[in-house]
Structure 1
Amino acid sequence: MKVLVTGGAGFIGANLCRRLAGLAEVERITVLDDLSTGDARNLADLPVELAEGSILDSGLLARLVTGATTVIHLAARPSVPRSLADPLASHAVNATGTLHVLEACRATRPHVILASSSSVYGDSPAPYKHEDLPTRPLSPYGATKLATEAYALAYAASFALPVLPFRFFNVYGPLQPAGHAYAAVIPAFVSAALRGLPVPIHGDGAQARDFTYVGSVTEVLADAAVRRVTSGTPVNLAFGARISLLSLKDALAEVLGRPVEAEFLHARAGDIRESQASARLLLGLFPAVRPVPLADGLRATVEWFRRSAEPVGAGHRETVPPGRPVDSSQPCRSMSTGEVGD
């Protein structure tokens, strides 16, 4: 199996490449990344071929797709606030970029796995976000991700392209950057707490998320690639956890063994109050997968931050040092086993 991972030098992509590199079925891994948010050092100890470039480069995409049996499309311009600041840039990468990827795949029809987002649901009052709910994005980012999955399913119907669109829910774990304006919740919390600062909470902290450890996400993505799993509908990639930001603060305090204070800030435009997945479709396709408990995932994330090459919060490219690999599939389990997080 020859795999092309777009966005493979980023947070989820580099963790995925590490998992793919350990599979006997995978013969070659190629990464396409423009390194705007990813970092080549995330791949330094892995047997991958890195092509630095954009998914908007049709010629480069066509060359890289040729010979690939599976394309895992993770490249994106992440973050709801970033999309509010520059909607056109988010659309160009997330919607038009996805169309370029699908068009490059149309001739040879590799298996295509794509990343959409829970943000497509908007603020639906349903307690669990299931895939049959109407989609009502509240941000340009959510709209671009809805376009991602819509184009994928249209190419499946029109050109017999085998596709599997996943809706990610607040993925977190090692290699996820902090220290910049668009940092996801958990790295922002961990970065602040390790420096002895209050964690930033936008709003009252009662808003809840379905935080999903990156090791669980890459387990599903790798299994989907090996078994060539497809779906005629998008599939939630989360397990139905409901964790408020205040509960997350307390869980981080338990991991650190000391109190963590909060700084309450104004609520942000485009933020969703409740985001909890129905995992019915996911577990039907991947019955063996089990979520990593929050305490274990937080512990692995904290450990990575502590051994990161750059000072915590110093810049937006915190990476695992070359020669100090992180195994996100095996979080530390010494205690209780009970953002692209959006």
Structure 2
Amino acid sequence: MSKVLVTGGAGFIGSNLVDKLVKDGDQITVVDDLSMGLIDNLPQNKQVKFYHETITNHKFMKSLLIKEKFDYIYLLAAVASVADSVARPYETHQVNQEANIYILEIIRKYHLKVKKLLFSSSAAIYGSNPELPKKENSIVDPLTPYAIDKFSTERFVIDCGKLYGIPTVAVRFFNVYGPRQNPKSPYSGVLSLISQAIMHHSTFTLFGDGTQTRDFVFVDDVIQALILLTKKSDIVHQVFNVGSGEHVSLLQVINTYEIIAGVSLKIVNRSQRVGDIKNSYADIDKLMKVGYKPIFDIYKGLKLYWESLKN
């Protein structure tokens, strides 16, 4: 039995991770300000302790870390809206970077013995770099405060890990989807917008011709990667892409979803938005060498996602 901290644990990816950790028999502490997460996402289970608190509360975080002496720490809390980071760069920076560095600082200063600390970064750091597929050593070109904070925190986590002997690892999420995705989240992106349009028989706005491609990765595959890089390997001070390794066009996604839901989507076409990236998908060879095997293709994943929405 391990003691585990999950920041942002009431969110989409965090709560799916908590479910897995409960099955593993761990004692889990969740810190979440519920700005995007939902308390209902968490299991009613004595293994899970929940704090409705922001990770920017340094006094609270310091006390929690020193008192609990966690074995594993998953840093998933973030203001995940790119638009929000553009509108409020400093406030989002405090969550997306400063709070995470403070956690590292407490671990360093008080010599806390962590088995592994994992930070969740984002494919947004690749920006407009046209190289495909995106490799971990591809040139990064972060274009927004969100992407800048994700990249710089990723570097802090890796390099402070090396400097101070803290076992750290970082992941770059591509387009994660699945049950509990918050449709209000700008990060949940196109799949939840399509889902909402199908459920409410409303219109979906398609920007561009639909041939743009993305690496959609089902949340269960993401959880597999997180557990693999923390509990199931000794890998430290490295960063890994987390994707499906496949690139699927938006038109393919729409066609697949229409088949699964048995509904024709009402579509309004608009011209491509300025700054939208045409194609993006992950090279996942590095993660696969550690033992990662994505299980869900777009059909299998969307089917489970659709069933969860109907329920």
Q: Same fold (TM over 0.5)?
A: yes
CA offsets, 1:225-269, max 9 Å, x none? 322543333100113111122221111111112322322345445
Residue of structure 2 in register with 1:22 after alignment: 23
Q: Which one-letter code corresponds to 2:298 in the other structure? A: L
Does residue 226 in structure 1 map to residue 227 in structure 2?
no
Does residue 297 in structure 1 map to residue 307 in structure 2?
no
> For 1:197 and 1:265, how far apart are their aligned partners in 2?
16
C-alpha change, 1:13 and 1:181, in structure 2 (3 Å) is: closer
Matches within 5 A, 1:190-269: 190-265=195-270, 267-268=272-273
Q: Which one-letter code corresponds to 2:198 in the other structure? A: A
**1:284: how far off?**
1.1
CA offsets, 1:177-205, max 9 Å, x none? 11466652111110111111222323332
State whether residues 58 and 104 of structure 1, in contact with CA within 8 Å, keep that contact through their aligned partners in structure 2. Answer: no
State whether residues 218 and 301 of structure 2, in contact with CA within 8 Å, keep that contact through their aligned partners in structure 1. Answer: yes
CA offsets, 1:55-84, max 9 Å, x none? 111222123223101100100000222222
> For 1:182 and 1:283, how far apart are their aligned partners in 2?
25
**1:119: how far off?**
0.8
Residue of structure 1 in register with 2:60 after alignment: 60
C-alpha RMSD of matched pairs (Å):
1.8
> For 1:88 and 1:191, how far apart are their aligned partners in 2?
32
State whether residues 216 and 292 of structure 1, in contact with CA within 8 Å, keep that contact through their aligned partners in structure 2. Answer: yes
Residue of structure 2 in register with 1:170 after alignment: 175
**1:270: how far off?**
4.6
Percentage of matched positions with identical amino acids = 31
> For 2:122 and 2:272, how far apart are their aligned partners in 1?
21
C-alpha change, 1:70 and 1:228, in structure 2 (3 Å) is: farther
Greater helix content: 2
SS in structure 1 opposite 2:117? strand
Residue of structure 1 in register with 2:280 after alignment: 275
SS in structure 2 opposite 1:227? coil
Task: Flag structure 2 segments of 5+ consecutive residues without an equivalent.
Answer: none
**1:97: how far off?**
2.0
> Higher relative CO (CA 8 A, sep ≥ 6), structure 1 or 2?
1
Residue of structure 2 in register with 1:48 after alignment: 48
The alignment covers a number of residue pairs equal to: 304
Residue of structure 1 in register with 2:99 after alignment: 97
| More displaced stretch, 204-213 vs 165-174 | 204-213
C-alpha change, 1:181 and 1:211, in structure 2 (3 Å) is: closer
Residue of structure 2 in register with 1:185 after alignment: 190
> For 2:100 and 2:185, how far apart are their aligned partners in 1?
26
Q: 1:144 aligns with which of 142, 146, 149?
A: 149
CA offsets, 1:67-106, max 9 Å, x none? 1011001000002222223222322211112212222322
C-alpha change, 1:88 and 1:271, in structure 2 (3 Å) is: farther
> For 1:274 and 1:177, how far apart are their aligned partners in 2?
24
SS in structure 2 opposite 1:263? strand
| More displaced stretch, 51-60 vs 267-276 | 267-276
CA offsets, 1:121-173, max 9 Å, x none? 11222120001111101222111110120110121122111111000001000
CA offsets, 1:248-306, max 9 Å, x none? 1111111112322322345445532221100111111124x223111111111111111
> For 2:159 and 2:187, how far apart are their aligned partners in 1?
31
C-alpha change, 1:278 and 1:180, in structure 2 (3 Å) is: closer
Q: 1:120 aligns with which of 102, 125, 130?
A: 125
> For 2:238 and 2:44, how far apart are their aligned partners in 1?
36
